[in-house]
Structure formats: structure tokens, C-alpha cells
Chains A and B, each alone.
Chain A
């Protein structure tokens, strides 16, 4: 069974802290994505990666960076967390050229920045 896991379901951090959100998939997928979900805005793409060590900016990359050192793991980094980064963060993966068809999602990490 397809599985995307995220390191934490809930996270509370303070303004200015460095925050790491981890995502792991066990499907040998080439492509991995980080989204944030906010009420009334749907999902917005932060970054994606189509191969190890490769990354592309999404629609809202400001204030975030990513790391993909291994195929199965994609990390989202908030260098200095701010209150406007309080949100639900969803990781997804898929296979195939140009992103394939179905994206498989993790359960999400609800991050609160105080």
C-alpha cells in the first residue's frame, strides 16, 4: 500500500526558530511536493523536487527552503519561523514524467508559530 508519512502531526514553534518538516515516501517516486493549506485558499505549492538534489520553486517559496538528499525524503525548512507561517503543511509524491497523474498525500503537519 502506498504510503507518505510526515514526521509530526502537530508542531508548535516560536517566532524566529528554525523548523524542519520531514516527509518520507516508500513508493520510489521521483517527484515530491510541499504544499500549505489555508482555509479559503486551498492548497498552494511551496516547492517541488523531481529528482534527488533537484528542486523547483512553486507559487509561494518565500520564507521556505527544501532539501532532497535521498529519493525517499523531502524536507521543508523554515529558516526563521514567523506567525504568518502558521498553517497546515502537506507533502505529496508521484511518479512519471511531468509529475505523473495521481499525487499521494501525507496526513499533514499542523504548524503553529507563536
Chain B
């Protein structure tokens, strides 16, 4: 199956930028996603990017995709305490129902 890998933990100071990294192995991935899970809640889609794009920006969120290295990153500008959560990277092929998720990165924002 497809492998999606992320680092497990990230600690960041309030007001700084956070960068969460993800690597994937399936070169035929078409959609790449970032989901956020707050404590005790389900997953909420933050943003996604098509594999023919290099970058996508949405307010404080910037997604960068390096297709050659199969590397995806999520940058959160001006990180706030409400950004403390688990962030999941996921990928999906156009012709498949399945999402393949990484293990999730727990982001802790400290004052």
C-alpha cells in the first residue's frame, strides 16, 4: 500500500510559524490533504492541493508540494493556541476511493 510519513511531534511558540512536513511514496497520488483533529473531535479538512500544483495559500495556511521529492508541507503563520491539535497528511489517487493517512503530527503551542 501507500506510505505516508510524518514526524510525530512539533512544539512551537505562540506567534511563530509552524511547519509540518510529510512524505509520501505513491507517485500517482492526485490529491494531497491536510486534516486537523482537535482534542475529542473528528477530523476537519484544512486544505488540499492537486498534484499539478506547487503551492496553495489560504489565509494563515501555506501548502508546498515538491513532486520530485514527494514532499508536502503545511506552514501555519502566526501560530495561535487554538492551533494546538493533531495534523494529518493524507493522499489519494484519482481512481481510488481510499485516503492513506500519515500517523499525525501533534502540534503543541506554548506561550
Interface residues of A (CB under 8 A from B): 4, 31, 33, 35, 40-45, 48, 50, 56, 58-59, 90, 92, 98-99, 101-108
Contact = CB atoms under 8 A, between A and B. Distances in A.
Interface string B14-42: 00000000000000000101010000111
Given A42-B102, A98-B95, 20 more contacts: A31-B97, A33-B97, A40-B103, A42-B88, A42-B103, A43-B43, A43-B101, A45-B99, A48-B97, A90-B42, A98-B96, A99-B96, A99-B98, A101-B31, A102-B33, A102-B48, A105-B43, A107-B41, A108-B40, A108-B42
Contact of A4 (B42, B95, B96, B104): B42
A45 B42 contact: no
Is the contact region of chain B dominated by helix, strand, or loop, or is it mixed? loop
B101 A106 contact: no
B101 A42 contact: yes
Contacts of B97: 31, 33, 48, 50, 56, 98-99
Interface residues of B, number: 25
Closest 3 CB pairs of A and B: A99-B97, A105-B42, A42-B101
A70 B70 CA distance: 39
B45 interface: yes
Nearest to B97: A99
- Highest count of chain B CB atoms <10 Å: which of A33, A43, A50, A106: A43
B1 interface: yes
A92 B35 CA distance: 13
Given A43-B88, A102-B48, A108 B41 contact: yes
B53 interface: no
Nearest to B102: A42
A35 B35 CA distance: 15
B45 to A, nearest CB: 5
B66 interface: no
B94 interface: yes
Interface in B61-103: 88, 92, 94-99, 101-103
